[in-house]
Amino acid sequence: MNNKLYGKLIFELSKPGRRGYSLPVADELNRYQLPTEMRRAEDANLPECDEMTVVRHYTNHSANNFGVNNGFYPLGSCTMKYNPVIDEETAALPCLAGLHPMQPVETCQGALRIYDETQRMLSSLTGMSAFTLNPFAGAHGELTGLMIIRAWHERRGDTKRVKVIVPDSAHGTNPASAAVCGLEVVEVKSTPEGTVDVENLRGLLDDTVAAMMMTNPNTLGLFEKEIPEIAQLVHDCGGLMYYDGANLNPMLGVCRPGDMGFDVMHVNLHKTFATPHGGGGPGSGPVGVRKGLEDLLPTPRVVKQDDGSYTVNCEEGISVGEFFGNFAVIVRAYTYLLSLGKENVKMVGPLATLNANYIKESLKDVYELPIEGLCKHEFVFDGLKDKQTGVTTMDVAKRLLDYGYHAPTIYFPLLFHESLMIEPTESESIDTIDGFIETMRIIAEEAARDPELVKGAPHNTPIGRVDDVLAAKNPVLTYKKLIENG
């Protein structure tokens, strides 16, 4: 868009005296004057704009945002799947959205029922015994789970367990959560096939191991086939098994971490259970535990009583937040699960897996596939097959923007130099997926025919290629008022 007003900040559009509406001051307002010491000495420095300027400003900004609602978003590891509108509708119902966390339990029985039933549905989908919905994100769930594991060891008087084993392919939050929990991170290597190296693991196990964290399918989209043996080894040395279920999509209705020998796990409602995410929240990272660990779940807890009513247990215990997590996210997950139902939820995993394999097989003649074979919900290319052109994964990702696609995850996992990680999810149609495959092939042709075209991309976006290094080294984090500075 070539409009001069476009791309400006709302403060830059401000003109003294510009107004949308001028409402008469109500007498009511004057009756409740704030004490002087609580009032501003000067008026707040707010932009002054007419209504239409404001509407256009924000509408243009929103149209500039890329989301699942305007295009294909094949971002691996973070599952950007479609979030059905009905989930938004229920989350916005005034009777739910208007609840106050401090109101008496007799007046919010319905909300407590939603908590309780969501916990039960998650338990039955994962094979865990009980869940808490209190954590606010996946990483927060990991921390909660590790706190539970530490408390369990401490309760048995086993205080020398300070190590957490984390695969080298793990999501960065795994080692970070272990460190925040005050535990020591020990890395276990991957085999050339991309799964946990069991021989390497054997050498790391002793009576100082508190837990092993695993992601399955792992960040390469590969199913960890050795889990029964790994779980046996870790349990034999007295450690617990932690399952990072942030990306539970491919597992839904197919298999359950609880049946594989995991003791504690988290899921990401904002990835698997249809809550919009990206941009930092809000999220929810429920934590589930197997039998025998339920009493270590954090408080407050929702308790169903014999007469069918609900009460809240606020006893001392692990606490990871004041109230019950992000309620609106939980309502969305609850709606999502109820709207799919028991039968359809079983289709999520197989369809997500089919879509990923279809893309992988359709493109592996032009993109480098480092690990052959069946993947789960996502897979990783190691850049273009033809490395002569000098066109990198970054260039391919930027060129995709020109064609109206969100870029896949790039340069993660760190196991390859040119990682390009693609996750289509179950909700995309064959037409969308075929369109993406065709575009990826066009970009590969462009790279061979006119590499500079791809290296200079994006050409059609409002902002071209930014200097990532400069942005990281010299971030401008505050807005300087340009108007005042001339």
Ligand X SMILES: *Cc1c(COP(=O)(O)O)cnc(C)c1O
**Residues near ligand X, by CB under 6 A:** 77-78, 137-139, 171, 173, 215, 244, 246-247, 268, 283, 285
Closest approach of Cβ 80 to ligand X, in Å?
Answer: 11
Residue with Cβ nearer ligand X (76 or 383): 76
What amino acid occupies position 144?
T
Q: Cα–Cα distance between 381 and 363 in angstroms, integer?
A: 9
Shortest distance in whole angstroms from residue 370 CB to ligand X: 19
Pairing state between β 379-382 and 310-313: unpaired
Q: Which is nearer to ligand X, 278 or 404 (CB)?
A: 278
Q: Which is nearer to ligand X, 268 or 389 (CB)?
A: 268
Cβ distance to ligand X smaller for residue 244 or 382: 244
Nearer to ligand X, 272 or 392 (CB): 272
In the DSSP assignment, the letter for residue 421 is E
Is residue 212 within 8 Å of 262, Cβ to Cβ?
A: no
**How many CB atoms lie under 10 A from the CB of residue 18?**
14
CA distance 61 to 92: 23
How many angstroms separate the CA atoms of 459 and 401, rounded? 9
Structure tokens at 231: 């779980």
Q: Would you give the distance in Å from CA 242 to the centre of its chain?
A: 18
| CB-based closest residue to ligand X | 138
Closest to ligand X by CB, 263 or 446: 263
Q: Tell me how far apart the alpha carbons of residues 382 and 404 are, in angstroms, rounded to a whole number.
A: 22
Rounded least distance, CB 223 to ligand X, Å: 14
Q: Which is nearer to ligand X, 310 or 379 (CB)?
A: 379
Residue 324 CB neighbour total at 10 angstroms: 18
**Minimum Å distance from CB 270 to ligand X?**
6
Strand order in the sheet with 419-422: 379-382, 419-422, 409-410
To ligand X, the closest distance from the beta carbon of 74 in angstroms equals: 14
| CB 18 to ligand X: min, Å | 40
Closest CB 413 distance from ligand X, rounded Å: 10
Question: In 3D, which of 297, 296, 227, 290 has the Cα closest to residue 264?
Answer: 290
Rounded to an integer, what distance in angstroms lies between the CA atom of residue 478 and that of residue 66?
24
